[in-house]
Structures are given as C-alpha cells and as structure tokens.
Structure 1
Amino acid sequence: MTTSAGDRDARLAEAVALRASGDEAKRRHARELLIALSAELPDDAEVAYQTAWVHDVLGLEAEAVPFYERALAGSGLPEPDRRGARLGHASTLRSLGRYPEAVEAFRAGLAEFPDDNALRTFLAMALYNVGEHHEAMRTLLETLAATSADPWIQRYRPAIEHYARDLDAVG
C-alpha cells in the first residue's frame, strides 16, 4: 500500500492527538495507528519518533527504543522533535537500567544540542547511576549556577562554580 503525503499527515495528526489526549484507551489506539504507519513508512523519522513517544507514555519503554533509534538515524525531524527524541531515547535507556548506554546517548544529545540543560540534568542522573558521582554533582551544580534565577543562588554563583570544579576543595 502506498501512503500519500496527505494521508500520512492526516493519520499522523490523528495519532498524535489521540496520544496527547491523556486517555489510556485513546493512547492504545494511537499506538495501533502509529505501528501501522511506521510499518508502511519505515524511513520516516517523524513517524518513528511519534511511535517511540506513544510507547513511552504507555509504559512500553523497551518497545520504544528501536523507534527512537530509527527516528535519530534519519534526518527528517525538525529541531524541537530531534531534541525530544534525543532526550526520550536516552531517558528510556536509563529507565530500562541500561545506564552506560544512557550516558552515551545523553552525551550524543549534548554534542548535538550543547545548550540543552534538560539533557544535561538527565545526564547527571545517568552519571550517578554508573557511579560517576563527582561528575554527576559537578554537572548539576554547573547547570544550577548557570540557569537559576534565584537571587541567593546567583549571589553565591562564584562559590558554587568553584566547588563544582572541585567538590573536595578545602578552604
């Protein structure tokens, strides 16, 4: 069966709306629609991303991974979706206990999107999971110092940044 661009877009929009509804039955139906569309369009990165996402929201993380990988292998994702796919993929690996792979995936995401503090924060969690506690804490402290609007954090930002570099510093 050949899927026209208009048909693809309509089916994808319907599935995304069903997934976003928050209703479990509608999300399961969205999954069915997306699996079928993904089978018809295996090289469509956007369809793969939406298929991964619906698996994640249904708690089917292991089934989401290959769709995230397919989405990221292609070049058809708009920038916000590619960021989302990077975070979703790495977070899913982490939630499955695949911590070293998650660290690699978060680092790949940050190589592509170095300004993404959500990726950086989740990377810190994965670093903790692989026993890199110092690196995890450094990453969180640097992110906090750089992004917090809290006046007290900003007041002590130089000290926070200093200790982020060397948590064991004395004096």
Structure 2
Amino acid sequence: MTASERDLELAEAIRLRASGDEGKREEARRRLVALSQRWPDDAEVAYQTAWAHDVLEREAEAVPYYRRALAGDGLTEADRCEALLGLGSTYRVLGRYEEAEETLRGAVAQFPGHGGLRAFLGMALYNTGRYEESVRLLLELVAETGEDPSVRAYRRAIEAYAADLHRTVS
C-alpha cells in the first residue's frame, strides 16, 4: 500500500467514524485496525484507531493505540493534545485513576490553556481522592470559561474561593 492509498483509506475511515451511525463506526474501526497493522509505526493511524475504539465504548482496546500514537512522531500538536485527553479519559473510565491523573497532569502541563484537559483532570483528581484540588481546578475553569451571566457576575468571588476553599470570615 502506498502512502497516498494510506491517506485515502484513513480519510474514508475517519468519515465513517464521524458519521454517528453505529454500523459505520464499527466499519471504521475494522478498517483502522487493518490499516494500523499495515502501518504499525504511524502515529496518526494509531491515534485514529484509538479514537474509533473509544466512540464504540471499547476503551480497553483503545489504550494500546493511544500509547502507540503518543510514543511516535507524526501527530500534530492538536492531535497530540486530543490523544492525551483520550488516553487520560480512557484510563479514568477504566478505573485506572492514578494513570489518568498522571497522563492528564502531564497533558495540562503541555497544554495549559486547554479547558477540556483541565476538566478531565478535575474528574481524575476527584477519583483519586484529591477532592479539594479537584473542586479548585473545576471552579477556576468555570470562572474562566463560564458564559452564563450569573457566573460571570461572580467570577472574582469564585476565583477567590477556588484559591482558598476553606476561607471564612468571622
């Protein structure tokens, strides 16, 4: 298979996965698994294969593809960010909370402005029993990104309380 044939096959599989139709998503997964066998060192193919498993709620099968994608070169910065989010989220769904936290902390360090990563890190922190850090992170995210006028009106207060959740006045 040539590189241009790989590109065409990958594009078609992505189209099928994005369709929203369960049968087409399964067809995309089968095609991507076959493509990843032909291109085992291709980070983009591995990433798309992981994603195809995730949308079908086959998270355990997605993990090795995410890891392969992240171990190699060839992902755009945006795809690397999304692959880290996918892997961290997948670990969390599988109950592998420490791995989720570790993956998502590293991802947030690389992509600090990505709200989705911070939201998933907040969930992983909750799962590892770091409740205060979880609530702080999620409150900061709400304060920064909330478009609800009632949230925006209290942004400064929310940020202040996020910084010190135990703060009281006497």
Q: How many residues align?
A: 169
Question: Within 5 Å, which residues of 2 pair with 1:81-120?
Answer: 81-120=79-118
Higher mean C-alpha displacement, 143-152 vs 14-23: 143-152
What runs of 5+ residues in structure 1 fail to find an aligned partner? none
Aligned ranges 1:1-171 → 2 under 5 Å:
3-171=1-169
Q: The residue matched to 2:20 in structure 1 has which SS?
A: coil
TM-score, with length taken from structure 1? 0.94
Q: CA deviation at 1:83?
A: 1.7
Q: CA deviation at 1:122?
A: 1.0
SS of the aligned residue for 2:112 comes to coil
The 3-state SS of whatever aligns with 1:51 is helix
After superposition, the C-alpha distances for 1:133-152 in whole angstroms (9 at most, x for unaligned) are: 00000001111111123333
In structure 2, the gaps of 5 or more residues are none
- What displacement does 1:40 show? 1.1
2:78 maps to a residue whose letter is P
Distance between the aligned counterparts of 2:148 and 2:55, measured in 1?
A: 32
Q: Distance in 1 between matches of 2:54 and 2:149?
A: 37
Determine helix, strand or coil for the equivalent of 2:81. Answer: helix
Shift of 1:72: 0.9
Q: Pick which of 21-30 and 5-14 moved more.
A: 21-30
Query: Over residues 64-102 of structure 1, what are the superposed CA-to-partner deviations in whole Å (9 max), with x where a residue is unaligned?
Result: 001001111122111222221111111011000101100
Deviation at 1:154, TM superposition (A): 2.5
CA RMSD of aligned residues (A): 1.1
The CA distance in 2 between the partners of 1:157 and 1:53, in whole Å, is 35
In 1, the alpha carbon distance for the partners of 2:115 and 2:34 equals 34
Seen in structure 2, the aligned counterparts of structure 1 residues 44 and 153 have a Cα distance that, compared at 3 Å, is same
Instruction: Report the AA paired with residue 73 of structure 1.
Output: A
SS of 1:170 mapped into structure 2: coil
Shift >6 Å, 4+ stretches = none
% identical equivalent positions: 59
For 2:145 and 2:27, how far apart are their aligned partners in 1? 39
